[in-house]
């Protein structure tokens, strides 16, 4: 942990003071938003611009090209980037966790009718109901298999939707059609009938349910308890070039997390900040409080410390997917990607 200590105790000023971090509109971008709006970045001498991105692949490419200094990333993304899955390899690091859990699986009313609320003791219960629906051919929507969306191939959402279907006896490769859509498109796409369900982080699942467009039928937390969902990601070359800037960033995010843990008032303020137009805008107006540590999502935002074991588990789940594409999951690369610096 000596490296971790040098990172948090260094008091050298940051090498650069103006940076841009990318984020995707999701509840678990909150710590970056708090650090900016609450002045925690400024307290570390950083002027941080937060850039809302429309797609995970675009966020990924902008970080790799240096157009963004770093970003709110899906937990598997730094590994996928380092191994060169989907694009040219770019060694990427994740020093802290920005969010734990938070994903929901939503089906359109047509499919979810008669299904029970998510059950932590039997997370695949509704998947069995879906299997029965599909095998009885009771549903002939569009004349094709149901089309389900997740956010990115190398994501917990993809792993969760596959695991849920498999545990319920539905073959994710043949019984359904899987596509990727960015989080902010999910609710509209479900409403317009372009998709029949999705797996995505909050607030999009609860928003669909709030509008009566679909229903939450499973929770990612029940399928993979304890999974780290989002991380802060920076390229290795950026981290080596600006170590003091990185430690200032981490101190600011730690301060934001400590503040968020301070109580109800901080949570309310956070919700108000999230509702600002550059962040989640009106898409959190259905929430009267920040849903932290509550069923079904069991979302946590302040468990910053990165536990390499949790990422080894994640990599093990990703292995079949990676190997089917001819990528070898190198344990050394894994260890380099997810190194705790706090």
Partner 1 sequence: MPLPLKVLLVDEEVVRAAMVEEALCQEGHEVICRLSSPASLNEMVARHSPDVVIIDMESPDRDTLDSMSLLHRENPRPVVFFADQHDPDSMQAALKAGVSAYVVDGLVAGRVKAVMDVAIARFESFQSMRKELDRARNQLAERKRIEKAKGLLMKHQSCDEEQAYRMLRKLAMDRGQRIADVADSVIDILERLEKGL
Question: Rule CB under 8 A: which residues touch partner 1?
Answer: 54-58, 61-62, 65, 67, 86-88, 147, 149, 151-153, 177-182, 184-185, 189, 194-195, 321, 325
- The least CB distance from residue 57 to partner 1, in Å, is 4
Task: Decide whether 292 or 333 has the Cβ nearer to partner 1.
Answer: 333
Tell the smallest beta-carbon distance from residue 326 to partner 1 (Å).
Answer: 11
Burial class (CB in 10 A: 0-12, 13-18, 19+), 55: middle
| Cβ proximity to partner 1, 61 vs 229, nearer residue | 61
In angstroms, give the least distance from the CB of 311 to partner 1. 21
Q: Which is nearer to partner 1, 33 or 64 (CB)?
A: 64
Q: Of the two residues 175 and 244, which places its CB atom closer to partner 1 in the complex?
A: 175
- Least distance to partner 1 from the beta carbon of 77, Å? 12
Q: What are phi and psi of 30, to 5 degrees?
A: -55, -40
Q: Give exposure, 212-250, as e/b (b: 16+ Cβ within 10 Å).
A: ebbbbbbbbbbbbeebbbbbbbbbeebbeebbbbbbbbb
In angstroms, give the least distance from the CB of 153 to partner 1: 4
Return the number of the residue (193 or 308) whose C-beta is nearest partner 1. Answer: 193
Nearer to partner 1, 10 or 49 (CB): 49
φ/ψ (deg, to 5) at 251 = -65, -40
* Min dist. Cβ of residue 327 to partner 1 (A): 11
**Own/partner pairs for 9-14, CB < 8 Å, 24+ apart?**
10/243, 10/244, 10/247, 12/244, 13/45, 13/244, 13/248, 14/44, 14/45, 14/46, 14/242, 14/244, 14/245, 14/248
Query: With respect to partner 1, which residue has the nearer C-beta, 20 or 194?
Result: 194
According to DSSP, the β-strands at 47-52 and 18-23 are: parallel
Closest CA to 166 of 127, 132, 135: 127
- Determine the angle formed by the axes of helices 243-260 and 264-274, rounding to 10 degrees: 120
Nearer Cβ to partner 1, position 115 or 151? 151
- Report the nearest approach of partner 1 to the CB of residue 178 (Å): 5
Please state the closest distance from residue 159 (CB atom) to partner 1, in A: 13
Q: 86 vs 73, 81, 121, 125, CA distance in Å? A: 15, 8, 36, 33
CA torsion, ordered 162, 167, 173, 178, to nearest 10 deg: -40
């Amino acid at each position: 942990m000596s490296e971790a200590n040098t990172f948090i105790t260094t008091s050298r000023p940051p090498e650069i003071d103006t940076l841009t971090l990318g984020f995707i509109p999701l509840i678990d971008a909150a710590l970056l938003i708090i650090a900016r709006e609450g002045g925690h970045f400024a307290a570390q001498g950083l002027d941080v611009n937060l850039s809302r991105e429309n797609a995970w692949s675009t966020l990924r490419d902008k970080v790799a090209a240096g157009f963004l200094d770093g970003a709110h990333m899906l937990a598997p993304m730094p590994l996928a980037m380092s191994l060169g899955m989907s694009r040219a390899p770019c060694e990427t690091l994740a020093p802290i966790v920005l969010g734990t859990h938070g994903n929901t699986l939503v089906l359109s009313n047509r499919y979810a009718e008669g299904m029970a609320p998510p059950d932590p003791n039997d997370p695949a219960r509704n998947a069995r109901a879906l299997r029965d629906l599909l095998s009885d051919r009771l549903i002939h929507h569009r004349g094709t298999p149901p089309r389900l969306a997740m956010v990115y191939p190398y994501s917990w959402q993809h792993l969760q939707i596959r695991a849920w279907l498999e545990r319920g006896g539905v073959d994710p490769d043949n019984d359904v059609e899987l596509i990727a859509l960015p989080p902010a498109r999910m609710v509209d796409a479900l409403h317009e009938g372009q998709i029949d369900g999705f797996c995505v982080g909050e607030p999009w699942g609860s928003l669909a349910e709030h509008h009566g467009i679909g229903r939450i039928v499973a929770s990612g937390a029940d399928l993979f308890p304890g999974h780290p969902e989002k991380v802060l990601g920076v390229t290795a070359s950026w981290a080596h070039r600006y170590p003091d800037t990185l430690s200032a960033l981490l101190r600011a995010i730690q301060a934001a997390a400590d503040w968020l843990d301070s109580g109800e008032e901080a949570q309310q303020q956070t919700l108000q900040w999230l509702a600002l137009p550059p962040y989640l805008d009106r898409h959190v107006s259905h929430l009267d409080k920040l849903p932290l540590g509550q069923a079904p999502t069991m979302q946590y935002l302040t468990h910053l410390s990165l536990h390499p074991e949790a990422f080894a588990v994640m990599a093990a789940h990703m292995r079949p997917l990676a190997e089917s594409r001819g990528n070898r999951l190198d344990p050394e690369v894994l260890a380099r990607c997810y190194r705790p610096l706090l």
